[in-house]
Homo-oligomer: A and B are copies of this chain.
C-alpha cells in the first residue's frame, strides 16, 4: 500500500511528537528551512561524537542545561554542578512558600495563594526566539499567550496631562492622527514637492486620510480607534469617540517609549509564557537530563586546569562534603560577578576580563490583588502600563484572565532607574509601587497585598540580571567567547541577545561547537590561539 506524504508525516508525528513531524516535513522539502533559522541547535553527533569525553558544566541555568542536553546527544559524558537547590538561574518562578534570600541576609517568604506566581526573572518568549521555542516543543513545555500589549493599558507621567493617565489606544491613535494631519498639510502646501511626484502626493494624502482617520478636509478630529466616550449599544446609543488629546500633551518624551514599546523586536506580538510559570522550561531540561547529570546544592569552590583537562572542587551541601570532579573540558555558565569570586587559575587576561565586566541590576516588585484592573472600569487584560519614574511600569498578569485574583507587578525596572529605586529601603520601594498603582488606578492601592521584591544584583549566585557590555564589540566579549584552554564559557553575556534565554542558549550552542571541534582535534585549544 503506498503511503502518501501526508500520512507519513502524520505517522511520524504520532510516533515522535511535533519535532519529528517537523523534521520529516523539512526532509520532504515541505518546509524549507529559513535563513533566519541559521541558529538551529548544532548536530554534534554528525561530527563523530564525544564518546568517552567528560565535560563538567558549571551552573544549571538554561545555558548550561542546553549545553549538557546537546553534548549528551553526541555522546559526551556531562556533569552539571549547580549551587542552588533549584535549577534555572535567572529563570525563577516564585510561588507560595518559596523563600527569597538576598545577599544582605534578608529573607522574604511568598504568601501568594496557591496557583499564583511571579516570574522573578525571565517572563516572556517572543515569536522569533525560535531556539527556546524549539526546546519548548522538544521537551513538551506547554505555552500560553503572554499578553504584552493592551490597548486599554495606561501611560502615566505625573507632570503631564494634569497627572491623569492616558490610555494606550488614545496615545497611539491620537498621535498618528496628529502626525497624519500635519504631513497632509505639508504635502498640500507643496513643502515636499522635491521628494514626491504629483501622483505620489495624491496617493500619500489619500493614505494619510486612512492612516490618521482624518476628516474629509484632512483634519484630525478624533477617532473611534482612540477610544469611546460612549459605547455603542441598542436604540440611540451610538459609538462616540473622545475629543482628541492635543499633540502638545502627546509630545511628552516619557510617553514615547511606552507607546513604542510594543514595536521593539523582542516585544512584538505574539509573545508566550509557559503555563504555570517560566520555570517549566528549566524543569523540563532538568527532567530530561536527570539527577545523574545535574548535581544540585554543589557550590564550586575551585577551578583548576590539569594536564588532562580540568579539576573542579565543590562543596556538596546535601552530603556535607567537599568533593572534586575531574573532566576533559569545563563550560562555565556562572555569571561573571560570581565567577570572579571563585578561586580559579584562569589565564591573566581572562581573570581580568571576568573581574571587570559590569552587570546590570533589575528590580521586580509583585503584589497579589483582586483583579481591579480587569472588568468594566479599566478593561485591562494583561499588557503593561508605563509610568515615569524608577518603577517604570505596571505589568498585569497574562494567566488566569477573568478569574478573581492575580499577581500584578508594581515595578519592573533596570538600568539607572533600578539603581535609583535600589537606594530606598525595600519596604519603601514596595510602598512606592503601591502609590504608583494607586495613581494609575485610584482607590485600588489598598487592595494590594503580599508584596515581594526581587533585586537581581542582590540575588546570591547571580548578582545581576545580565551583562552590561558598553558596546556590542567589547574586546572582553571576544576574549571570553574563546576557551581558556580546556575551560569554555557560555551564558547570555556571550550573545547579542543579552538577558534573554535565547541568548543564553545560543551562546551555549556556539560554545559546544567549539568544544566539539577542540575535542575532535584531540588537543585543547589554548588561549594563545584565539583569533
What residues make up the interface of A, taking CB atoms closer than 8 Å to B?
Answer: 6, 9, 13, 17-18, 21-22, 25, 29-34, 36-40, 127-128, 130, 133-134, 136-137, 142-145, 147, 149-152, 169, 172-173, 175, 179-180, 182-183, 185-187, 189, 191-192, 195, 200, 203-204, 206-208, 210-211, 224-225, 227-228, 230-235, 237-239, 247-248, 251, 253, 256-257, 260, 263-265, 268-270, 272, 370, 372, 375-377, 379-383, 398, 401-405, 443-444, 447, 449, 472, 481, 494-497, 503, 506-507, 509-511
Contacts and interface: CB of A to CB of B under 8 A. Distances in A.
Q: Which of A33, A381, A472 counts the most B-chain CB atoms under 10 A from its CB?
A: A381
B496 A232 contact: yes
A122 to B, nearest CB: 17
17 contacts: A13-B404, A13-B405, A31-B372, A36-B230, A38-B230, A38-B231, A130-B375, A145-B398, A151-B269, A186-B191, A206-B253, A210-B257, A210-B260, A211-B256, A239-B265, A270-B380, A270-B382
A39 B230 CA distance: 10
Contact of A376 (B130, B191, B377, B382): B130
Given A401-B143, A401-B145, A404-B13, A233 B379 contact: no
A18 B260 contact: no
Contacts of A380: 127, 270
Which of A128, A150, A224 has the largest number of chain B CB atoms within 10 A? A128
Contacts of A128: 152, 228, 231, 379
Nearest to A129: B231
B232 A127 contact: no
Contacts of A496: 232-234, 237-239
B39 A237 contact: yes
Given A186-B186, A211-B256, A228 B36 contact: yes
**Number of copies of this protein chain within its complex:** 2
A30 B238 CA distance: 29
Given A186-B183, A232-B503, A234-B494, A370 B227 contact: no
A136 B38 CA distance: 45
A370 B24 CA distance: 12
Top 9 A-B residue pairs of the complex, sorted by shortest distance between their CB atoms: A191-B191, A186-B186, A37-B376, A232-B496, A234-B510, A151-B268, A270-B381, A145-B145, A234-B507
